[in-house]
């Protein structure tokens, strides 16, 4: 867990100098385990039609997530992204127990503003669920 937090901190600090050229975005998504969620994010650096460093925070009915990675989704044409994420379940998540922490990787693919996602997460700490597979569909604004 400490290694992953250090990795996220290093990636984030590397990208901080690019905040002046950051673009914000939001996503509405239906997914497992979070059911319905909304997220806010920042794409850092100048938009040159390529993948850019991204920080994203998401909250939903069944949990919340903080992700850091590279992203080009939701822009014109085909986009994709890969992000390291920390996910916390609460209330009534789909397929797993509430109040558990997971660490994993999420891949995203977009066609214009339609977003598809698939992720794999490992349990951090005590709990009944060792692994979590996350799937989702959403719209990028």
Strand partners, 119: 106, 134
Task: Name the residue ranges covered by the structural domains of the chain.
Answer: 2-140
The predicted structure's pLDDT at residue 27: 96
The predicted structure's pLDDT at residue 16: 56
Asked if 31 and 60 count as a contact pair (C-beta separation under 8 A), the reply is yes
**CATH code, 2-140:** 2.40.160
Interval 92-122: pLDDT, tens: 899 999 999 999 999 999 999 999 999 999 9
Buried b (16+ CB within 10 A) or exposed e, 52-75: bbbbbebebebbbbbbbbebbbbb
Overall pTM > 0.95:
no
Q: What is the pLDDT along the chain (141 residues), one digit of tens a residue?
A: 666 666 666 666 655 555 567 889 999 999 999 999 999 999 988 777 788 999 999 999 999 999 999 999 887 789 999 999 999 999 989 999 999 999 999 999 999 999 999 999 999 988 777 899 999 999 999
């Amino acid at each position: 867990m400490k290694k992953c937090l250090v990795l996220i901190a290093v990636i984030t600090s590397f990208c901080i100098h690019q905040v002046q050229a950051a673009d914000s975005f939001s996503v509405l998504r239906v997914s497992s385990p979070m059911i319905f969620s909304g997220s806010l994010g920042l794409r850092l650096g100048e938009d040159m039609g390529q993948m850019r460093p991204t920080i994203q925070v998401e909250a939903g009915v069944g949990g919340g997530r903080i992700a850091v990675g590279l992203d080009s989704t939701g822009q014109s044409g085909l986009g994709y992204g890969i992000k390291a994420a920390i996910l916390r379940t609460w209330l009534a998540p789909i397929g797993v127990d509430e109040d558990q922490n997971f660490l994993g990787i999420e891949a995203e693919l977009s066609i214009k503003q339609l977003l598809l996602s698939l992720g794999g997460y490992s349990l951090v700490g005590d709990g009944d669920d060792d692994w979590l597979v996350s799937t989702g569909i959403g719209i990028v604004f």
